[in-house]
Amino acid sequence: MLLNTLNSINILSPALQLQINQYLVEEEVSKKQLLLKAGQVSQRIYFIKKGFIRAYYYKDGEKFTSWFMGEGEIIISVYSFFSRNPSFENIEVLEDAVLQSINWDQLQKLYSDFPEFNLTGRLITEKYYIRSEERSISLQTLSAKQRYQDLLKAYPGILQKASLGQIASYLSIKQETLSRIRAQN
């Protein structure tokens, strides 16, 4: 499945596909498991074959969700993975998942051995950078109701996968506000 996604971004040579397959680790991960804890250095980049995952951080003892990711998406702690510094966020599995992953060293080897893969990596990075900026802009310019509606469009089944508290913290609103918004729909 990962190779299908990568080939939809940029066609990969057979040799590159073979090398990715040799590196790829597939694992089943249970709900509530942490893939990364704050303070650890992120070692793996994951592709979600099945499941739903979030990242969160603590501020003043409260959990704040920074992102959600679902099937067909790539997940990492961007800061930690690329800087090789400890993460400030936790990555939690919200429903039983099947993940495919490679480690940092393997990714670097793919980039050096297969220069064509650098384009794929750049395009993926651009996609997620744009998404990050869209989230930042939406927090500044859209109403809470608009942000909630956008989230439902992006992840139609999110209400069955994440708690209302997790969703509210992602939207940067109180849970009571989210309840009022939901009552209006």
CATH number of domain containing 36: 2.60.120.10
Q: What is the mean pLDDT of the chain?
A: 96
Q: Is 107 inside a domain boundary?
A: yes
Q: Is 43 inside a domain boundary?
A: yes
Q: Which domain holds residue 92?
A: 2-113
Could you give the number of structural domains in the chain?
A: 1
Q: Is 138 inside a domain boundary?
A: no
Query: In this structure, how many other beta carbons lie within 10 angstroms of the beta carbon of residue 22?
Result: 9
Residues 6+ apart with CB under 8 A from 151: 68, 158, 167, 170, 171
Q: pLDDT-based confidence at 99, cuts 50/70/90?
A: very high
Residues 6+ apart with CB under 8 A from 138: 146, 147, 150
Q: Is the pLDDT of residue 77 over 80?
A: yes
Q: Is 163 inside a domain boundary?
A: no
Q: Quick one: which of 161, 164, 184, 26 has its CA closest to 102?
A: 26
Share of the chain above pLDDT 90, in %: 98
Q: Which residues pair with 68 in a beta bridge?
A: 54
pTM, two decimal places: 0.92
pLDDT, residue 135, reads 94
Share of the chain above pLDDT 70, in %: 99
d(CA 179, CA 164): 8
Decide: helix, strand or coil at residue 172: coil
Q: How large is the average pLDDT for residues 1-24?
A: 95
Q: How large is the average pLDDT for residues 29-36?
A: 98
Q: Is 134 inside a domain boundary?
A: no
pLDDT, residue 1, reads 84
Q: Is 80 inside a domain boundary?
A: yes
Decide: helix, strand or coil at residue 6: helix
Digit-coded pLDDT (tens) for 135-181 = 999 999 999 999 999 999 999 999 999 999 999 999 999 999 999 99
Q: pLDDT-based confidence at 101, cuts 50/70/90?
A: very high
Q: pLDDT-based confidence at 49, cuts 50/70/90?
A: very high
Q: Is 133 inside a domain boundary?
A: no
Q: Is the pLDDT of residue 30 over 90?
A: yes
d(CA 148, CA 150): 5
Q: Is 140 inside a domain boundary?
A: no
